[in-house]
Structures are given as C-alpha cells and as structure tokens.
Homo-oligomer: A and B are copies of this chain.
C-alpha cells in the first residue's frame, strides 16, 4: 500500500449523530406520500411487501439484537465508496451483536446463486477503508429473473441460514432486491433483503434518495479533468475538445460537471428530447457555437456530451435500431463490397434511409463495418464524440463555402468514464457510504425486508445527516422490457424544472460566447474542509 492508502485507511469516516450508537435505536414509521404509479399492478405482484411506510430510526428500547448471519454483494458497475458500505455493515452488525457473521459474495449476484463467498473479517476489511474499487469481492451484472435462479437464491439463503442479504446496486439491482424480498416471504423464508443505492450515473434518486453513492466522486474526477482541458484550451487557443461523459441514458453527470466547470456548451439529453431535436439540429447548434466564437476571434472551446445524448434525438436513435434489424436479417451481405452494402442497406431501411444517405461515406461505412466477432453490428463502437466531430466539421465547411465561417476547426475527442468508477472515494462518498452500511445493518437487525437504505439532509455536515429507509415497492412502476410488462425502478432523468438545470440553462447562452471556465482541483483529503468535504452541486 502507498503512504496515501495507509493514511486513508486509518481515517475514520464521519458518522451521523443518529448512528453513533446503534444498539439503542428503534424503528419509527415516517409519514411520506409516494406518488404510486401502477398501484394495482405492483400491489398484485408484491402482495407481501407492498404498502409499507418509509421509516426512520429513533432512540428507544433495545430490540434484543440477536446475532445475525448476513450476506452482501455488489451488483452492476463500480462506484467509489462501495468498500465503505461493506465495512460499516460489518462493523454495525458487530456493534449490535459480536457474534454476527458477514459473508461477501464473489463477483456479484452470481456469487450468491453459485454460493461462492468469503467470510469477511475485521483485519481484512480494515485494509479497504476509504479505498476505491469493488475488488474486495468484485461485482457482476447477473439478473435474478428465472424461476430456477430464484430457487438457487433460496437454496443459498437456506444453506448459509442467512438472516439478511444486502444488495449494493442501481435501479435494476434494487428491482431485483424487491423481487427477492417478495419471493423469500412467499416461500416462508425469513431472509431480509435490503438494497443500497449505488451508481455514478446519478439516475437512482427520488424524494428520499437525494443521490446514489459514487456520483459525487465520479463527477469530481471528471470535473478536474475537464478543468485541466479547459485551461489547456485557453492556453493553446487552437483546439475544440469534445468530451463524452459516462452516465448511460440520463445526463446527470454532464449537468453536474457543467455546473462545476462552465464549459462552452453542454448537451443535455432530456433537453434535446423535450425540444424534439434531430441529429441535424444538434450538429447545427454546435456548428453555430463554433462559428459565433470564431467570428469573435476565438477558435477553441470545450463541449460536453452525455454518452446517452443521441438516444434522445428524434431520428438517429431510430436509424441505429433499423440498421441493426437490417443487418441481422441480411447476413449474406457481409462479404459484399462496401458500396454494394451501402446501397443494399439504403434500400432496406424502413424510415431512416434519408438520414443514413445524408451521412458522410466514412460514417456510413463505419456503421456497417463495425461488427463484433459474431458478425453482429456493434453500434456502440460508433463513438458519439467522433460522429459529432465529423458532422460538425462538414457543417462548418458548408458554412465556410457560404461565407459565414472563416475559422480553424481542430477537434479533439475524449471519453471520461472508467477513470471515475473505481477512484478513491471523495470524503462525501466515504462518509455517505459508511452511513448507508450502518443503516443496512439496522434494517437487517430489525428483520425488515424489501427496503432500500437512505440518508437524507446530505447538504448538511455528516453529523446532521438523517438515516432512514424506503420500501422498494414504493419505487416500482410497470414498464415494457423485451416485450414484457415488468415492474422496474424507473431511471430518474434530469428534471428540466429543477433548480440545477434552470441554473445551467440561465448561463448557457453566456458560456457559449464568454469563457468563464472553472478549474476544480484534484480531490483533496487533508486540507481545509471547504475544499475536502464538498457535496454535489446538483443537491
């Protein structure tokens, strides 16, 4: 371990006052109004777990605090702070009863189904305090969906005589937690299932879950890099940096980073959708920004692109789906010449042949050539940032031909994603995760099932944070997935009426023409609290 890691593993996270002493707490129902969509459908699918209230913890008589046997797994993509959830879950269980046991399932939910686990102990866990990654036990993306999988889950819970199972995950993983909780009760199994809200994407949130863990750190990592690139752009004065940001469909990360760094333009997918923008509209907007700046004598800039932004366009997302359909059916064309392929595809596209025809030959070919090892089209390989750079270049050349644009356009593509998912956690995420793990321990101690741990009042200092839990069923709605109506936790998109977006929207026009770059520091851990202990701006 490096000197930094050694120092960090010895710094205790800050604990909310309400969670300092777990042994004397009891549960209190909290009056909260949920906007329950699809109430009847959810109620009929979750007869055992539907209808619970949100809860909070108050001082009260000890509830016995018998020893508990608990399992925990990570589910889905990495997010900074995950190790702290497991460590405080362990410490919380031990605080409630020294004889409690914690198992870590290896490689995500699949480790649970296959009964691949390790028993966690204090010495080993201590090495992971405040460290990044999920590498203590790894993660995975297996969904528990089939009857056989549910049976395997029950088999494991019985084999280990689990009192509780903690699933640390995002929207899909917590939907899984809700289904497992209901299933276990339906077969008379007393294993509590509890979720913990994790995802850098920031799309698992509601009135009670102010933000999932990991979002803060990831945005701080990206914002520091964006600031560095902005300072470079301002120094060199000759590049346009197109920076794609991870975050799946929603644009939360891009919005948070835009507020932290003030780049010249930031596309927000939800905004693109609400304004019914086409790919061409987006290209014209970006080209207009470049042209206006150029006419002011500025031939550099920084543009942020959420990775999911083109899914919100009115046309390009459809083209990709149609191309996939055409190439799936017509396997025989794989060996024909490029030009024949293009002509064949144009003749087959149901609605988007005009858009495809309008793309430059290079992009047309890439859309056909980028196939995976099984010969399938791999659309994700056509990078959003490369596509937009190519199209904006062409649009600018058209504008040059018409006399409007006279500048130099030197674009540079970037993609920030994996850099931020396993970073050492910010103090905010380290503290937040530690508090979430303690709540998970309490929920299992009280034999509560089908809940997700919550911490509210996150804008305040950690001592004042409010622990609680929310019934997972209150978060479910019905959606069609792969042709079937299923209960899901709907991804929270950027709220176009929310304070964060409105603040951004109010500066958008100004930032496009006047550089007001901010340069967030690399995450600091030892300095003044106003530098080390900030929370996300979108809170």
Contacts and interface: CB of A to CB of B under 8 A. Distances in A.
Interface stretch (A41-49, A129-137, A184-192): A129-137
B531 A3 contact: yes
Contacts of A525: 521, 524, 527
A309 interface: no
Contacts of A237: 107, 138
A195 to B, nearest CB: 19
Nearest to A396: B373
Contact of A418 (B133, B414, B527): B414
Contacts of A339: 337-339
Interface in A379-406: 393, 397
Copies per assembly: 2
Contact of A419 (B131, B229, B370, B520): B229
Nearest to A229: B418
A132 B229 contact: no
B373 A362 contact: no
A235 B419 contact: no
Given A523-B522, A525-B524, A422 B231 contact: yes
Given A135-B234, A138-B237, A4 B107 contact: no
A316 interface: no
A530 B3 contact: yes
A329 B398 CA distance: 26
B338 A365 contact: yes
Interface in A125-158: 131-135, 138-139
A244 interface: no
Contact of A2 (B229, B235, B362, B521): B521
Interface string A501-531: 0000000000000000011111111111011
23 contacts: A2-B518, A3-B528, A4-B520, A4-B521, A5-B519, A5-B521, A7-B531, A78-B231, A78-B232, A133-B232, A221-B522, A228-B423, A229-B422, A231-B423, A232-B418, A232-B422, A338-B339, A362-B370, A414-B415, A414-B419, A423-B522, A525-B527, A526-B528
